[in-house]
A and B are shown apart, each in its own frame.
Chain A
């Protein structure tokens, strides 16, 4: 079976981890052809002993729910009772914690049909799985895959000695956070100015909004950290440590989140085995800005308490290994308690699944949990939950799942020179790039600088690298975009917002053009481009305008409007022209030629002054759309306004 690991590590460990190969269970599944075997969706290898995840059909679910006792044989379905008895089952419990506030939608999405069956661990797992698969009322049998946890080492930050005279913020480490604002000096001779997420300009317009909650599904977040505490989500309906589920959400004493490993509200970051990964990721999303302490976060506010909020939905904890069951629960908790973004810097090793269908069928309960998160609307500004994953650090030409799935966002990593980091996965399934650092090529400070628990770094701050560190940059920019939408009173569907996020990029392929050894590997494979926070806010603000000269054939490169010329965006040429521009707009603008798309250029001739709209469809990440039997990009549509005028000031001024 697969291993799941978080995707952050130092240069020292990278060499070891890149070579880490996951198990693959395809050989075990081949040859199983009878009906019961098809219900078993994964392998028992690397699975937790003495436990099975079962998805019953509705009939069995009702029978279990209506029983008056809690006996394992409480249902009136005799074959099920017999199978449970034969495997020595000790408990049959609903997998997802029941949150009475959201039970209706839970049932609508079928999550109530997932159960955990525990039995004597001496009983052979596969034998038990097959026994339950033979019961007609069982739809899915999933072994509870153990998630391997790769420890992440850190390079502690040196104490800042100087501060830039003029800065957007007063946080002392901001000058070393090249990933936010890269001046082109101070980190490494190869660093390039502007190779960052461009927060400094974006912060002129928006720095965050506390109504936007980002769930860090990862190791526990140090909610006492001086640079995180003010931006931690606080469950206002819960009273800390009173042993009572005050808000009746099914979780007792969940103040800043929930530890799904220990099944309590004690978020942990300082147990043996904890490595600060979740705290580091959280700081990149929303360390408190302008508080005169430590570092900045992408959506950390301006120091007045207006940063986005961090919820710790703890997946990894100490030495305890995560499981498929735990990860699914982490998404459900985040959705039911208000999160709008799921920040996930972990995933399966790349190549262990090679098609969307493969992932969907084999990751049963995780897939259902993520889908639930996507469908829950927790903010007025977006119609569902946004899910971002790290692409993985295997250095392979294929992104790891779950992020590689066409409906999720997979984030690749770049260094301070704007080039792909040596470890990043790329290619099929990759959607967008962000700074993840490259300490192998650019030294310790070439990593991403963020918050850490003091048991990991005495100063509370340090460097890490990985797609794990790239992903929270993208999550932070998404959170910034949602905050800006809130301020403007704008509302978007999940699809619309995802499209805007994927188009909020700078060109990455052009940077590689002069380096054949790099471009030959990565061109067109890093996603739509490097994420740019200012572009995100621009996309939220409104529809970009394309200027078309009146009375002349215009051939306008659309790529600057679809992510600044990233070559792996394919503007689809085969659309019916009627879907590009309405007949009314054509008449209004006196269109005599086009509009049509060729080689990513809009070709159109307009004879009348005025404005209209065109809708352009494109594929973000790869040359073809994602599909069940393979991997690919995400198909989206972008609306552009066309302004036809007889000319325009060369400096862009309206007059």
Chain B
């Protein structure tokens, strides 16, 4: 191995590591706020990327029907619950977000022909389609069992994952897609070429991380999420709605997931089930951070990315083995250094 190869591998590792970092942040966020180990995180990566690819191929992506359908079910459930409790004032708001918004998006997708749009507009439309699915899934799958044990939440999470993967196959087919790059530029830096898309991935990841940092540190919603993560009951007593906190964390997780997918779709081929493995690597990183620390998770993600890149050079047949084996020493070290608290069942 010479310097040039090491630099290329490093560039590759950092690009993948940046994506894993984003996903690990989303996983930590969802887990601390709702105690859900969010396995479907990866599906948002695939849905975001394939929805954009669908626009670029001039097709109507199946996620549109998913949004309309899920929205209708959420509206039905919420209206029934509201009617029972008698809080009729809330009904217009429910209908606006779960029926009118998906219908408006559908009208844009079907009538405006996004195939001819500039890329940033296509990206925004893809996000507008996929991101609302996050809070809707929270409403349907997790809100009714918000107080259940971590294990029950995990099992429901697996079920949601399987359902979404199945829907992904139905919507997008078994074959993968690529999207056009944000930038075709490429710079010669010493002996290696730096691709524009790589810089986009790194830049967007850093931007999102800073934005999340500001959101949690400065905004009232961010502080509410942090309060819920630290003490659920205490936050509730202070007037913070745990339902709102759950929906908001799922919204952010869906946004991060879908945007990560859109970032990497020009670099690699995305399949309906690609998201799971990417999400799993993000999960390894999140575990390194003890599912609690954001900076440790982000650092862990970069380690995973670089380890993956260099092990694919040295021993490609054992790449996944090496990456996932990393979790064992981390768990051993964690269990030795931190005292274990038994969760109340």
Answer whether A and B are interacting partners. no
Q: Which residues of B contact A (CB under 8 A)?
A: none
